[in-house]
Amino acid sequence: MEGPQSSTHVPSVLPLLLLLLLGPASYAVAQRCPQTCICDNSRRHVACRHQNLTEVPNTIPELTQELDLQGNMLKVIPPEAFQDLPYLTHLDLRHCRVELVAEGAFRGLGRLLLLNLASNRLSTLPQEALDGLRSLRRLELEGNMLEELRPGTFGALGALVTLNLAHNALVYLPAMAFQGLLRTRWLRLSHNALSVLAPEALAGLPALRRLSLQHNELQALPGAALSQARGLARLELGHNPLTYAGEEDGLALPGLRELTLEHGALQALGPRAFAHCPRLHTLDLRGNQLDTLPPLQGPGQLRRLRLQGNPLWCACRARPLLEWLARARVRSDGACRGPRRLRGEALDALRPADLRCPGHAAEAEEEEQERARAGPRGPPRPGNGEDAAAAPCPHACACVSETRHSSCEGRGLQAVPRGFPNDTQLLDLRRNLFPSVPRAAFPGLGHLVSLHLQHCGIAELEPGALAGLDRLIYLYLSDNQLSGLSAAALEGAPRLGYLYLEHNRFPQVPGAALRALPSLFSLHLQDNAVDHLAPGALAGARALRFLYLSGNRLTQVSPGALGPARELEKLYLDQNQLREVPTQALEGLPALLELQLSGNPLRALQDGAFQPVGRSLQHLFLNSSGLEQISPRAFSGLGPGLQSLHLQKNQLQALPALPSLSQLELIDLSGNPFHCDCQLLPLHRWLTGLNLRVGATCATPPSARGQRVKAAAAVFEPCPGWTARKAKQTPASRPSARRNPIKRRHQGADKVGKERGHL
Ligand SMILES: *[C@@H]1O[C@H](CO)[C@@H](O)[C@H](O)[C@H]1NC(C)=O
Ligand SMILES: *[C@@H]1O[C@H](CO)[C@@H](O)[C@H](O)[C@H]1NC(C)=O
Ligand SMILES: *[C@@H]1O[C@H](CO)[C@@H](O)[C@H](O)[C@H]1NC(C)=O
């Protein structure tokens, strides 16, 4: 992904004159442009991108309005870092490796409208980090590592319209997290790990119109919290593991027009689930597990009901649905999965009379069998315990009843303390010393969602250590001394979804213990000593989606070792000792999206190495793998689904063209010693047609050294079969060769003859 190149005008004469007229002082100020930057005085725009700056240059012209510092290495934004730039309206600090924003960092920026801190490394925000930004309208914090928000963090941002917190690591939203955001209309919280919103989490957002919560871990509609945002018109809740929605969830949004719940795990919907959303117009339920749904009571303005990708069963039970759709004039787009007679029929095209009711014995039987196959409905949903007890708290710990967090981090404790408030949801015991965690070590914590036990010297988890943690979803055991887990070590936490075991001493995957975790979703085993994956290692892990085994000693992944995890989406096997792609082990992973194999001594790829996952794979990492040669058939099976291909830092002198990868958004070929002669013409051609920066550079022959494979016309023009795609381009349009190549390709096809003559 690349932003557009900033246009870099040479300062023109006119503004300079104006500045001269304004007096010597401002002239001098305007003149000081830091060496590493490009200043456009007329537009008051200064760009110092990708300069490895470790601090904000102190000679930026005072009148600057837009400052672009993307791609530097600031790490820390100290207090009042921009106090000499009072006119700033736009500040871009993306990709600056920022870990800390000090209190008062932006003080003095009372005119700032846009602050972009996306793609940094922030894990917390001090309470006063954003003070002074009273005009700010947009704050981008996407792609950081924020785990929690403290109430009051945004308190000074009374003008903020858009707050983007997507792609962070938020687990929980405490009450009053967004207090003070009086004008905020759009709050983006997608792609976090939110499983719980405190009932008052969205209080203090009177102007909120749109809320994005897709791709989180919500197991139930957080109705109480959502109903605080009474002005919401659009609510996005897709890609959450919701199994049921009903009136008891308490959703009441008088202005809601559009609700998306696509790709969740909905198995049933209560007829009054949206009874208190009277203006609902569009309801998106695509990709759930609904075999039917009841006529929805309440949303009288509903016009569009999206049901594609649900296993709709078009038999007697669906008659009320059809009757309602017709009566209420709701358009719907689902199709019948069965019975056979109606398979594939559009729901909208059926009349109630098309659905046969029992009486036809065969039909009734079929429906019954199908219902049996659909299985039971998911587990009951966690509630929001409302009764905040007058909280006890163990000595040496801090228990915050508002957030339901309890912490005894780094207190030198030698045993797990007892007596936490019984409604604690997050318990942080990091950096203590518990060589052995005894049975039932966390009594009375049935509401616990997240348990932190990193850096505790743990060598053993006794059987039943987690007993009673019925609602635990996140367990952090990284950076301990564990070398194994007994079969009963993880019993008692049946909902556990995320298990962090990285930086321990596991010589193998603790398969027996994992059987107690039917909901395990994400398993982190990086940086252990696992040397092979044997069949059965993941036998219990049927719900596993993400498996991280980077930085182990794997030399082998046996066929069948991953088989039980049929839902696996991400598989990280990078930085191991694999000498070949474990193709057979990839059989039976129909949903795999991302495969990380970088940093293995692969050297070569066998033909059809990725065939078993060719249809699903979107991201493939093969960088730093010592690859020397790639045969054209190595990637067979991979097609338009592939979005990124990482082949950087290998020993490739050549690469076949891969036209079947027609939808690539990223291909990295940098750091390879390409040999640029006519044999590389197909690659050159293919790359020219991709609208991407690819980083492929010629290393040999010496005459071509350093040229980009894509642009090395002198190398390829003399080749037989050369067809001049670029010959028509004027010199002026050439430098940004990646702007229009697609268009160029289409032009090229019918002009080949002419251009050849021309050459
Ligand atoms: C920044 O540092 C990297 C790595 O040290 C170096 O390759 C690059 O050329 C530097 N960029 C600038 C603009 O100095
Ligand atoms: C928590 O403890 C309080 C008082 O000890 C009790 O009233 C309450 O019911 C308990 N709540 C839960 C969820 O166990
Ligand atoms: C491979 O490339 C990705 C993306 O640039 C990077 O994150 C990863 O660290 C690389 N792996 C190795 C082993 O260099």
Verify whether ligand 3 is closer than 6 Å to residue 572 (CB atom).
no
Q: Note the pLDDT tens digit of each residue in 261-274.
A: 998 888 889 999 99
Nearest-atom index, ligand 1, CA of 36: 13
Q: Note the pLDDT tens digit of each residue in 212-234.
A: 999 998 888 999 899 899 999 99
Output the CA 392–ligand 2 centroid distance in Å. 11
- Ranking 190-194, 628-632, 708-712, 729-733 by mean pLDDT, the lowest is 729-733
Q: What is the pLDDT of residue 12?
A: 44
- Over range 537-552, report the average pLDDT: 90
Q: What is the pLDDT of residue 366?
A: 59
152 vs 155: CA distance, rounded Å:
5
Nearest-atom index, ligand 3, CA of 574: 13
Counting runs of H as helices and runs of E as strands, what totals does the chain give?
9, 41
Note the ligand closest to the C-alpha atom of 35: 1
Nearest-atom index, ligand 2, CA of 389: 3
Within 176-282, residue ranges assigned H as helices are 223-226
Note the ligand closest to the C-alpha atom of 595: 3
212 vs 214: CA distance, rounded Å:
6
CB of 598 closer than 8 Å to CB of 624: yes
- pLDDT at residue 377 tops 60: no
638 vs 595: CA distance, rounded Å:
13
- pLDDT at residue 364 tops 80: no
Q: Note the pLDDT tens digit of each residue in 93-148.
A: 999 999 999 999 999 999 999 999 999 999 989 888 999 999 999 999 999 999 88
CB of 272 closer than 8 Å to CB of 250: no
Output the CA 406–ligand 2 centroid distance in Å. 16
Q: What is the DSSP letter of 555?
A: -
Note the ligand closest to the C-alpha atom of 471: 2
Confidence of residue 733 (pLDDT cuts 50, 70, 90): very low
Residue 258 belongs to a domain: no
Verify whether ligand 3 is closer than 6 Å to residue 599 (CB atom).
yes
Nearest-atom index, ligand 1, CA of 51: 13
Q: What is the pLDDT of residue 316?
A: 85
CB of 202 closer than 8 Å to CB of 228: yes
Nearest-atom index, ligand 1, CA of 52: 1
Output the CA 423–ligand 2 centroid distance in Å. 8
Output the CA 389–ligand 2 centroid distance in Å. 6
CB of 341 closer than 8 Å to CB of 362: no
- Over range 413-421, report the average pLDDT: 92
Q: Ligand 2 pocket test: which of 399, 406, 420, 422 has the largest number of ligand atoms within 8 Å of its C-beta?
A: 422
Nearest to 61 by CA among 17, 96, 16: 16
Which residue has the least CA distance to atom 2 on ligand 1?
52
Q: Ligand 3 pocket test: which of 646, 667, 669, 672 has the largest number of ligand atoms within 8 Å of its C-beta?
A: 646
Nearest-atom index, ligand 3, CA of 646: 2
The tokens 């490739």 sit on which residue?
Answer: 652
Output the CA 170–ligand 2 centroid distance in Å. 27
Residue 376 belongs to a domain: no
Amino acid at 473: I
Amino acid at 757: G
CATH number, domain at 144?
A: 3.80.10.10
Which of 32-41, 161-170, 365-374, 690-699 holds the top average pLDDT?
A: 161-170
- Ranking 60-64, 312-316, 476-480, 481-485 by mean pLDDT, the lowest is 312-316
Query: In angstroms, how far is CA 607 from the centroid of its own chain?
Result: 32
- pLDDT at residue 550 tops 80: yes
Confidence of residue 368 (pLDDT cuts 50, 70, 90): low
| Rg, Å, the chain Cα set | 30
Q: What is the pLDDT of residue 649?
A: 97
Note the ligand closest to the C-alpha atom of 37: 1
The partner residues of 523 in beta bridges, in order of sequence, read 499, 547
Q: Ligand 3 pocket test: which of 598, 667, 694 has the largest number of ligand atoms within 8 Å of its C-beta?
A: 598
- Over range 601-626, report the average pLDDT: 95
Verify whether ligand 1 is closer than 6 Å to residue 52 (CB atom).
yes
Verify whether ligand 3 is closer than 6 Å to residue 598 (CB atom).
yes
Which residue has the least CA distance to atom 12 on ligand 2?
422
- Over range 252-262, report the average pLDDT: 96
Note the ligand closest to the C-alpha atom of 622: 3
Verify whether ligand 3 is closer than 6 Å to residue 575 (CB atom).
yes
Residue at which a domain ends, from 187, 208, 229: 208
Residue at which a domain ends, from 175, 192, 208: 208
- Which residue would you say has higher pLDDT here, 289 or 373? 289
517 vs 538: CA distance, rounded Å:
11
Angle (nearest 5°) at CA 306 between 662 and 615: 25
The tokens 């938020």 sit on which residue?
Answer: 170
Verify whether ligand 3 is closer than 6 Å to residue 550 (CB atom).
no
Confidence of residue 29 (pLDDT cuts 50, 70, 90): very low
Q: What is the pLDDT of residue 337?
A: 86
Note the ligand closest to the C-alpha atom of 575: 3
The tokens 């903020």 sit on which residue?
Answer: 160
Q: Ligand 2 pocket test: which of 384, 386, 387, 418 has the largest number of ligand atoms within 8 Å of its C-beta?
A: 387
Long-range contacts of 356-359 (CB under 8 A, 24+ apart): 356/315, 356/316, 357/315, 357/316, 357/319, 358/316
CB of 498 closer than 8 Å to CB of 525: no
Dihedral sign computed on CA atoms, order 241, 243, 246, 248: negative
722 vs 752: CA distance, rounded Å:
9
Note the ligand closest to the C-alpha atom of 384: 2
Peptide bond into 339 cis (omega under 30): yes
The partner residues of 10 in beta bridges, in order of sequence, read none
**What average pLDDT does the chain have?**
85
CA atoms in the 13 A half-sphere facing the CB of 592: 27
Nearest to 171 by CA among 448, 442, 408, 441: 448
Output the CA 643–ligand 3 centroid distance in Å. 16
- Which residue would you say has higher pLDDT here, 378 or 525? 525
Residue 335 belongs to a domain: no
Which residue has the least CA distance to atom 6 on ligand 2?
389
255 vs 234: CA distance, rounded Å:
9
- Over range 660-677, report the average pLDDT: 92
Percent of the chain exceeding pLDDT 70 equals: 86
- Which residue would you say has higher pLDDT here, 386 or 492? 492
Q: What is the pLDDT of residue 110?
A: 94
Name the pTM for this structure.
0.54
Output the CA 96–ligand 1 centroid distance in Å. 14
Residue 265 belongs to a domain: no
239 vs 287: CA distance, rounded Å:
9
Beta-carbon neighbour count of residue 112 at 10 Å? 27
Nearest to 609 by CA among 629, 579, 582: 582
Percent of the chain exceeding pLDDT 90 equals: 59
The tokens 């071509």 sit on which residue?
Answer: 704
- Which residue would you say has higher pLDDT here, 301 or 366? 301
Verify whether ligand 3 is closer than 6 Å to residue 576 (CB atom).
no
Q: What is the DSSP letter of 299?
A: -
Nearest to 172 by CA among 442, 382, 377, 392: 382
Verify whether ligand 1 is closer than 6 Å to residue 35 (CB atom).
no
Token digits for 404? 């339901």
Q: Which distant-in-sequence residues (6+ apart) come within 8 Å of 252 by Cβ?
A: 223, 227, 230, 276, 277
- Which residue would you say has higher pLDDT here, 727 or 755? 727
Residue 110 belongs to a domain: yes
Residue at which a domain ends, from 193, 208, 223: 208
- pLDDT at residue 497 tops 50: yes
Q: Note the pLDDT tens digit of each residue in 575-593.
A: 999 999 999 999 989 989 8
CB of 64 closer than 8 Å to CB of 41: no
Output the CA 452–ligand 2 centroid distance in Å. 23
Q: Which distant-in-sequence residues (6+ apart) come within 8 Å of 503 by Cβ?
A: 478, 479, 480, 526, 527, 528
Q: What is the pLDDT of residue 564?
A: 85
- Over range 553-561, report the average pLDDT: 94
Output the CA 83–ligand 2 centroid distance in Å. 51
- Which residue would you say has higher pLDDT here, 367 or 546? 546
- Over range 533-556, report the average pLDDT: 91
Token digits for 583? 């193709």
Output the CA 616–ligand 3 centroid distance in Å. 21
Note the ligand closest to the C-alpha atom of 670: 3
Output the CA 422–ligand 2 centroid distance in Å. 6
The tokens 């009148």 sit on which residue?
Answer: 63
SS (H, E, C) 737-757: CCCCHHHHHHHHHHHHHHHHH
- pLDDT at residue 2 tops 70: no
Which residue has the least CA distance to atom 14 on ligand 2?
422
Peptide bond into 731 cis (omega under 30): no
Q: What is the pLDDT of residue 358?
A: 67
- Over range 150-166, report the average pLDDT: 92
| Residue 547, H or E segment | strand 546-548
Nearest-atom index, ligand 2, CA of 447: 13
φ and ψ of 47, to 5 deg: -120, 125
Note the ligand closest to the C-alpha atom of 420: 2
Output the CA 33–ligand 1 centroid distance in Å. 20
Output the CA 50–ligand 1 centroid distance in Å. 8
Q: What is the dihedral of CA 241, 243, 246, 251, to 10 degrees?
A: 0
Q: What is the pLDDT of residue 198?
A: 81
Nearest-atom index, ligand 2, CA of 385: 13
Which residue has the least CA distance to atom 7 on ligand 1?
52
Q: What is the pLDDT of residue 403?
A: 62
Output the CA 612–ligand 3 centroid distance in Å. 23
- pLDDT at residue 396 tops 90: no
Q: What is the pLDDT of residue 449?
A: 83
Q: What is the pLDDT of residue 730?
A: 34
Full residue range of the structural domain in which residue 476 is found: 414-529
Confidence of residue 363 (pLDDT cuts 50, 70, 90): low
Q: Ligand 1 pocket test: which of 52, 70, 97 has the largest number of ligand atoms within 8 Å of its C-beta?
A: 52
Note the ligand closest to the C-alpha atom of 382: 2
Q: What is the pLDDT of residue 735?
A: 33
393 vs 508: CA distance, rounded Å:
38
The partner residues of 312 in beta bridges, in order of sequence, read 336
The partner residues of 373 in beta bridges, in order of sequence, read none
Verify whether ligand 3 is closer than 6 Å to residue 406 (CB atom).
no
Q: What is the pLDDT of residue 387?
A: 35
Q: What is the pLDDT of residue 255?
A: 95
CB of 243 closer than 8 Å to CB of 219: yes
Q: What is the pLDDT of residue 724?
A: 59
Q: Give me the number of domains the chain comprises.
A: 2
Nearest to 427 by CA among 436, 435, 417: 417
Nearest-atom index, ligand 3, CA of 649: 14
- Over range 395-406, report the average pLDDT: 80
Ligand 2: residues with CB < 6 A are 385, 387, 389, 422-423
